[in-house]
Amino acid sequence: MTVLLATLNARYAHASLGLRYLLANMGDLQPQTSLMEFVIGAKTTEVVERLLAKQPRIVGFGIYIWNVEETTRVVAMLKRVAPEVTVVLGGPEVSYETTEQEIVRLADYVVTGWGDVTFPKLCGEILGGPKPIMKVHAGVQPPMADIALPYALYTDEDIAHRTIYVEASRGCPFKCEFCLSSLDKTAWPFGIDAFLTDMDALYQRGARLFKFVDRTFNLNVKTSQRIMQFFLDKIAANPDDPVYAHFELVPDHLPEALKATIAQFPPGALQFEIGIQSFNPEVQALVSRRQDNAKAADNIRWLTTQSHAHLHVDLIAGLPGEDVDSFARGFDQLVLLGPHEIQFGILKRLRGTPIIRHTEPYKMVYDPYPPYTVLATDRIDFATMQRLVRFARYWDLVANSGRFAHTVKVLLGDSPFANFMAFSDWMYTQLDATHRIALDRLAKLVQAWLQRQGMPADAAAALVASDYAGAVHKPAEKTPQAKAAAPERQVRHLAA
C-alpha cells in the first residue's frame, strides 16, 4: 500500500468514521490506500511492526485526545526505524495549538481541520511532487455535496461487531465554549436523499445499530422527521428484527410534530443523548451556552413519561463560575426528571476551545496531560474536585450500570447529590480505588452502606438482592445502550 490510514481507537467497537471519510475521498489514490485500526493499550512495537508490514510510503494518523500520548510513541518509533516513511497527522487534537506538541515535531506534515480534500491533495504532492515545503496545512472545507460518503467502507465484520457511526450533518450553530464545535459557524447538512440511500444499504447488509454523531440532530425538524421515519418504516416492516438508533438532542427544541414521531418508537429502539451541562443561568451565560432551562426540563420530563426512548443526560462539573452547591442543585433537579442515565463528566480543556479565556479570572487549573481535566477552580479546590471525580466513577458503577435500579432510589433519598457524595466518600475509604472492583464486592458494599444508614440487615440484603440476584457471577447483558456507548459527550464527537 502506498498510503496507510491508521488510528488508535478508544475501544474495538469504536470504528473510526473520520478515517473512512478520508479513504472514501482519496480519488485516484484510493486503490493504493488502506485502513488499519488499533486499540489504545496496544504494544508500540507491535503497532509499528504491523504498519511497516504494509510497506507504506505515507502513514496518516488520526489524532484524538484519547490516543495522542500513545500515538506519539508510535510515531517516534516509526520515524526511528523507518525514517523514509512520511508521517501525516490529522484530527482535532493536532488542529489547534499545533506548534506546541511533541507529536507534531516528530511528524512530517499536519492537516488541521477538515481533511476530506486536503489530505488526498497533500498525499498526491508528496508522492508526485513538488514536495510541499510547509509542514502545517489548513484543511479546506468543500461543499457538502462534494464529499463522498464513507458508509460502503464499513466491512461485514464492522457491521456484525462494531457500532456504525453515521452523520447527517457536520458542525453546530451553538457556541458553548467548552466544546470544539463552538468554533463552527453553523451546521452543514449532507443531502438527505443520498444519506438515506446509504443508510438503507447499511440496513440491507445487516446493520441494526446506528449511532448518529450529529451535534444538533433535531435542529432541522423536517430532516429529523425523515430520518426517524426511515427507522420507523424498518421497524414496521420487520418488527421481530429490532433496529436501534442513537441521536444527540438539543434539549429545549422539541416541537409537537417531533414528539409525535418519537412516541411511535417501541421500547429498545431509540436513545437520546441530551446535554444539559449546567442548570445555572449565570454559568450558562459565562460559557456562551443558550438554553431555555424550563423548556429543557419539560422536554426531558415528557420523554421520560410519554416515550419509550432511553435518555442519557449530561452534566459537567468544574465549569467556570459554578461551585459544588450550584452543581448539586442541578444534579438533584436532573435526578427528579428521571432520565435513565446521568453522565457526570469533569470539564476538559480541549485544545482550541474558547474556555481558555476563563483560566485567569476563575483560576482554572488543568492537568497538562490528556484529557486535560480541570483540577481546581476558584470555587472548587483540588481535594473537592477529586471527590467529584470519584463520585462520577461510583455513579457509573452503581447508578448508570442499571444493576441497582431499585436500590439507587433508596440510596439517593430526597437529597440525591448529598447522599451519593456521602456514599462515594465512604466507598473510597473502603476500597482506596475506583476501578477494577469485583461486582460481588460492590454489591456487598452497597448493602453495608444501607445498613450504616439505619436499614435493617435483612431489608438491605433483600433490596440489593432484588436488583442483583444472579448477576454477581455472570457478565452484564450487552444492551443496545451499552453497545452504543462512547467517550463522554465533551470529547466524543471528534472523529470527522
Place of cell 450558562: 284
d(CA 358, CA 354): 8
CATH superfamily of 3-142: Cobalamin-binding domain (3.40.50.280)
Write down the pLDDT at residue 280. Answer: 97
Write down the pLDDT at residue 321. Answer: 97
pLDDT in tens, 274-314: 999 999 999 999 999 999 999 999 999 999 999 999 999 99
CATH superfamily of 149-377+476-492: tm_1862 like domain (3.80.30.20)
Q: Where do you find CATH 3.40.50.280 in the chain? A: 3-142
pTM for the model stands at 0.92
Q: Which amino acid is at 228?
A: M
pLDDT in tens, 14-45: 999 999 999 999 999 999 999 999 999 999 99
pLDDT of 108 strictly over 70: yes
Q: How confident is the model at residue 491 (pLDDT cuts 50, 70, 90)?
A: low
d(CA 218, CA 443): 39
Average pLDDT over every residue of 194-200:
98
Asked if 22 and 119 touch (Cβ cutoff 8 Å), the reply is: yes
Q: How confident is the model at residue 260 (pLDDT cuts 50, 70, 90)?
A: very high
pLDDT in tens, 130-186: 999 999 999 999 999 999 999 999 999 999 999 999 999 999 888 999 998 888 878
Asked if 72 and 103 touch (Cβ cutoff 8 Å), the reply is: yes
Write down the pLDDT at residue 182. Answer: 82
Q: Where do you find CATH 3.80.30.20 in the chain? A: 149-377+476-492
Q: Which residues pair with 244 in a beta bridge?
A: 209
Average pLDDT over every residue of 403-430:
96
Residue among 427, 410, 288 at smallest CA distance from 353: 288
pLDDT in tens, 50-76: 999 999 999 999 999 999 999 999 999
